[in-house]
Amino acid sequence: MVIQALRFFALPALVATVLPAQQGTEADYYRMLTFPFSEERPLEVGAMACLSDGRMMIGTRTGDIFVVENAYADDPAKATFKLWARGIAQPLGLLEHEGWIYTAQRGELTRMRDIDGDDRADEFENVCDDWEISGNYHEYNFGPRLTPDGKMWITLNKPFGGEPYGKAHWRGWAVRIDPNTGVMEPMCTGLRSPAGVQVSPWGDVFYTDNQGEWCNASKLSHLEFGEFHGHPHGLVTREKAGEPFRSIANPVSGTYMKDLQEQVPAFKMPAVWFPYDKMGKSPSGMCWDTSDGEFGPFQDQLFVADQHHASVMRVCLEEVDGHWQGACIEFREGFDCGITRIAWGKDHSLFVGMTNAGWSGKGTRPWGLQRLVWTGKTPFEIHTVRATPDGFALTFTQPIDPEIADDPSNYRMESYTYKLESRYGGPEADKKNVEVMAASPGQDGRSVRLQVAGLRAGYVHEMHMPALRSADGSELLHSAAYYTLVNIPVR
């Protein structure tokens, strides 16, 4: 990706002068273990969870739910898959809660359990089926995810194309369900293809959405009650949803998203935009690093998978003026197939579940299961990007060479934003170069403050720093970060 970044900035001279011999690869720091692939037994992963007894549970898009024994063996061929349940309609999330396994099927939130102790589910209860389905292929449901108040969140994909059983309500919504009463509450609308939903360590709900019409760049967004996230499809249900949804107006195509709140006050800006093709194409599952260092140096950061690029990205977030925002950075690519789900194992390795079904993407296989294990070596990476009133504060995973880091010409930055449009996807709009005026390495040896001219709120700030070196001369493993600057901090 260094090469790509350089091509973008067209600075061949830099390549010639500073490319050092010392350069690790992603695999040196995070190794991939691949569970055996079988053509006969498709393992199209759509859901994963680590059970309280430490075993992994895997749900497939085709409706099987497996319990994996020996999932942590260094030889993945030693793992065995036991069919715990089958015939579930596209489970795209698994959650263990109070002795039940919860999953959002096509038509309902279901809970399942094994009563007779033979490790196979025998009881299946309908917790809630208040949302509607028309039978369109794209009415996927993602979740559930449990919030600290004991409620469960589900995101409901909107249909694309024919709706055999007529228009269905609640498509394009995030809903919250009380697992004890089955009562469903509408939470947010304007979702398009919300392939990942997750609860942060501090209890907030975030989701990923895939670019297309009315979601013109893929994004990570924070979900809070009453919001509109851009796609008008869900607004057909606003009457049923009541206030505050009833008063949400349809957006006008072609409005800059940063300005949309003037038109539609309920509109919520994303936390992070994933610029198309630079940072995947189809963000899906995600999880926060709660490994306390067992998975490397990224505690409290968020990993986001991509179903097109067969990659995992990294996101650091901060709350600025009441809005969660932050940067995305490449982390690991080269998985076997487009990734739908990632989940922690009990040993703090990252299970990576994949299927390309119905979609095309990178990778060499149609489905699969892999595991990412930290080798114990720390890569030289941009660790965190934070916004400051006049620029950005960056920290690194290793001490940096201050002689290089203090030269502003070693940083390239530009900013752009997106319109909300009815067209499919959208260009990086209103693009401008951002001049780095000063670069000041910190006292701790691992940070640098960038003062820039022309910060723009509501813009992605894309920054490249391939020339930076660690104190021992290593190149950055990934030298670009994409910070979605919704708010500029005052202090």
Please, which residue, 86 or 240, has the CB nearer to another protein? 86
A 10 A CB-CB count for 417 gives 22
Complete DSSP assignment for 20-32: -S----HHHHEEE
Please, which residue, 118 or 262, has the CB nearer to another protein? 118
- Looking up tokens 């999932």 gives 71
Instruction: Find, among 85, 104, 83, the residue nearest to 93 by Cα.
Output: 104
Please, which residue, 216 or 325, has the CB nearer to another protein? 216
Strand order in the sheet with 45-50: 45-50, 56-60, 65-69, 80-85
**Least Å distance between CB 89 and another protein?**
4
**Least Å distance between CB 190 and another protein?**
15
Interface ranges with another protein (CB under 8 A): 61-63, 86-90, 105-108, 110, 116, 121-126, 129, 133-138, 160-162, 164-166, 212-214, 357-360, 422-425
- Looking up tokens 């680590």 gives 50
Burial 365-400 (b: 16+ CB within 10 A, else e): bbbbbbbbbbeeeebbbbbbbbbeeebbebbbbbeb
**Least Å distance between CB 86 and another protein?**
7
Q: Are 215 and 193 in contact (CB under 8 A)?
A: yes
Please, which residue, 179 or 391, has the CB nearer to another protein? 179
Please, which residue, 145 or 281, has the CB nearer to another protein? 281
Which of the 8 DSSP states describes residue 33?
Answer: E
**Least Å distance between CB 241 and another protein?**
18
**Least Å distance between CB 182 and another protein?**
10
Strand partners, 380: none
d(CA 271, CA 204): 12
Residue 456, token pair as written in the block: 């723009």
d(CA 316, CA 397): 13
Please, which residue, 37 or 124, has the CB nearer to another protein? 124
**Least Å distance between CB 472 and another protein?**
45
d(CA 195, CA 207): 8
Please, which residue, 367 or 411, has the CB nearer to another protein? 367
d(CA 439, CA 388): 13
**Least Å distance between CB 38 and another protein?**
13
Residue 28, token pair as written in the block: 């040196």
